[in-house]
Structure formats: C-alpha cells, structure tokens
A and B are shown apart, each in its own frame.
Chain A
C-alpha cells in the first residue's frame, strides 16, 4: 500500500482514441497518459467527451479507433469486468449506488472481484466462507472508518443525503483496492464543506494508499489545487495537456472556457 510516489512510470496510456455514436463524434483522436501515483484531472466544457473518456478507459464504451495501454499491455478495448478485476475502479457522475442495499453491503460489493469462495460454501456460511466474509468485512470497516461513515453503516443508501451517497460510492470504489481510480465529478452539487471533505479524502487516498487517480471536475479551484497534471478536452478533441499552471496559461483553454468561437 505504501508504494513509492514516483510520478514517472506510465500506468495507463490512451493512444489516438476516437469514439462516435451513430455518426455523432464524442471523442476524436485523443491521446494522453496517466502516471503511477499522480492525480490526473480531465477538464473541459459540457459535452467535451470527458465522461465518455472514462467510459472508454474502463471498457464500457468501445472506441472505433485507437488503443489503450494499461500496465504495459496494449489492447483496443477492455471488458468492464476485466478492467475492474485488474485494478480500475470508478465513481459515477450520477450516483450509481445499489439503492436497495445498505452502505455496508454497497461497499462490500466493491470486494466482489477479490472474493473467491463458491456458492456452496456460502450457503453453508461456515468455515472458509465465514472466514472470508469476516476478513473482507474488516477491510471494509477500515474504509468506513477512513471515510467517517460509521454511523450510516446499516442504512439503506437510498435514504442517505446526496453528499453521503457520493462518499459511499467512493468507498465502494476504494473497496476494490484499485490501482487506478476514476472519479467522475466527485464534488458536483456539493456545498463548500462537503467539497473540502471530499478533497481531503481524494488527497488522502492518493497519499496513504498510493492510488493513482483520474478525475473529472468542473470546479477549477479544486482541480488546480489537487491535481498533478491536467488534460483539457473540448468538442472531443484534446486542446491542452500539462501541469495546472501550464494549462491555465494556454490560450485555447481560456478560449474554450470563455466560449470564444472556434477557428
């Protein structure tokens, strides 16, 4: 867990990705990389293709062109469960928790990829299955402590307020012990205090667990504060890539955000 905070090895690289839906282009020839241990922000105006990019990375969308290199392996696309079992976890723009289940169970589902005991052991709930269940429960309790959500452990998530749901969703992603964590607007719709909490969690995750993070966020202040490098998309194209300072200085980015008409 205490990996070196290198910032040099490339964990994931996307090459020349193009994605379109029935003729509408969502992403056009985009390439960038994510280095191990960094916080990488993806920003851009609405409809720039940011969420689509995350969906390509974890295999939900299949790009028409391009390839993805993850942990040294290159393939044109991934299957979602393959991505998940190889250490890519994510949260969603519109919360995608399992509404009928408790906080604890939701986070426990994050452990599914690492749990192995078969259904017959589970039906008996005895011996190895019980031991496994307890071990993972302990792990999940660490996450619950970390995210300070002990009190809502047994509450069905449907009854939780929005901010809490976001936190539970982060917990579920963390439960998978990801190498790469994709956060889709983790702070959208939060008030200042909640945002601060969430920032703290993101930074802590990055520092304590050494998890590489790619996040989409609209709040420029947050992005500039916490991210190591930023890639900027506009109309499906990459218009800038670099440190927060470099990006801030880029004229295309300023134009895109100020709505200057293109070309």
Chain B
C-alpha cells in the first residue's frame, strides 16, 4: 500500500516535471500571441533552430570552428545563439511581419508556416540533419539521493528545467509588470492604435517580442535537446504545448505554467492508471480531451482574457 502511494507520488511528480517542460515550449507561443495576436506555428522549429545553432557553435567542425578555428565555451555559445535569435527576429519583422500588418490572424498564422519551412530548410542546410548530443553539463539521470533515501524517482534534468522554468516565468512577469518595454508590450497587446499613440513603435515591439520568444525557444531547445539529442524531432514538441496553451489561455504567462502542470499531471495519471486498460498510448489525446473539457466551462482558457459579447 505504501509503495502504491509512493508510486502515485512518483507519477504526479513526473507529471509536474513533464508539465514544466511543456510549459517552456508554450511560453514562447504565449509571448508572441500576447503581443501580436499571432499563433506562431514556427515556435517548434525555432526551438530546433536555436538548439542547432548552440550545438554548432560549440562543436568542432561547426561554423565558428570553420571560420575562426575556435570553438566557443558554453556560456559564449549561449550568448552567440541569443544573438542569432535576435537577428532572426529582426529579419522576421523586416521581411515578413512588416508587410503583413493589419492582416487577419489566420493569414499571419499561415505566414508563420512559411517561416517554419524556411527555418527548417536553413537549419538543415547550415547545420546538417544528424543527431547532435547536446551536453552543456546539465546534470542528467535520476537523482541518486531521492532514489536511495526516499525511493522516489526524480530526473535531475527535469529538476533543472523546473527551476529554469520558474526563473523564466518570474523574470518575464517582472519584465511585463515593471519595465517600460514590458508595459509597452502589454499596451500593444491591448490596443495597437493606443500603443502607437503613446509613441511606441510597433515594429520595435515586434522585434523585441520575437527575440524574447526566440530566447525562450533556446531554453526549451536546450532542455529538450539535452534529453534526446538535437534533431529534427525537436520541432515536433510544439504539439505537446498546444493543449497547454488552450488550457492556460493563449495570452497568459502564468497560464502556460499552470496549464502545463495540469496537462502534465493529468496525462501521466491517465496513461499510468487508465492506459493499460484501453491499450495504452492515450497521453496525446487525453491531454487534448482534458483541455477541451476545461474549455467547455471556460471558453477562453483558465487565465485567458474574458470574451465579452456585445452588439
């Protein structure tokens, strides 16, 4: 009985950890949706692209190595990758978004599909399609202490991810609440015209928000890439973030985290306790069904802004 209870805790903890990992991906979506109303289909590919760049900068035979004959240490590679993501954001604004201001959200959504294709193709051309084991020195494997003393299985990488996720959300929350740019971002989210009238350039805002989202993508890419190696499949984790998004609301940063936790715990419990009776592999649709059930009660997601209907 005791071990059953212990196992239940383990399942819940795994769910929490998985949820944080999903939330890391979902955060990138939220940032862009919040500030520009764009559902960014390319978010998954951005994670892949960032992780590919990061690996490449540190690897012998990578671009830095070929161009300058050196490989970068981890921290410098991260800085360089952040630089790359900012350039990518700037290019996206310059070449794509700028020409599509005022279009329907669904058109912009389609444009992000184009972006996804471009980033995928460029990623392949620039960095190759092999599996790249990403080792930044993040501890991996089960925590021995937890396993030996508590008999509890906790993955170290995921603890790191959870802490990172928490820090990231806090930083973003402060960024949105306290800084001038953050307030501007919120203003843009509320009303494009109003934001323009107080003298904030929409274009600057978009570059900033896509950059931040690129950085979030890098964090997600590092965490997932450390787990499975950097490869094309990394771009598919975006699918895992979608139920989190609907549950938490497209516009809420804390929503992404809470949504991630609910989805993570929910799907793990379902798979472990209910899956064996129906043949398993139910996690995916269960996550969506769970999100759908929530939506039926709150059509705008848990933390989404309330939709008011008027004529």
Contact = CB atoms under 8 A, between A and B. Distances in A.
Determine direct contact between A and B, CB below 8 Å.
Answer: yes
Interface of A: 55, 60, 92-94, 96
A71 B41 CA distance: 54
Interface string B294-311: 000000000000000001
A256 B311 CA distance: 26
B311 to A, nearest CB: 5
A86 to B, nearest CB: 20
Contacts, number: 6
Contacts of A93: 311
A93 B311 CA distance: 8
Interface residues of B, number: 1
Contacts of B311: 55, 60, 92-94, 96
Nearest to A184: B311
A55 B311 CA distance: 9
A94 B311 CA distance: 7
A94 B310 CA distance: 10
Contacts of A60: 311
B306 to A, nearest CB: 11
6 contacts: A55-B311, A60-B311, A92-B311, A93-B311, A94-B311, A96-B311
Contacts of A96: 311
Interface in B262-311: 311
A214 to B, nearest CB: 16
A24 to B, nearest CB: 13
Nearest to A51: B311
A92 B310 CA distance: 11
Nearest to A55: B311
A51 to B, nearest CB: 8
A92 B311 CA distance: 7
Nearest to B309: A60
Contacts of A55: 311
A47 to B, nearest CB: 14
Closest 5 CB pairs of A and B: A92-B311, A96-B311, A60-B311, A94-B311, A55-B311
Contacts of A92: 311
Contacts of A94: 311
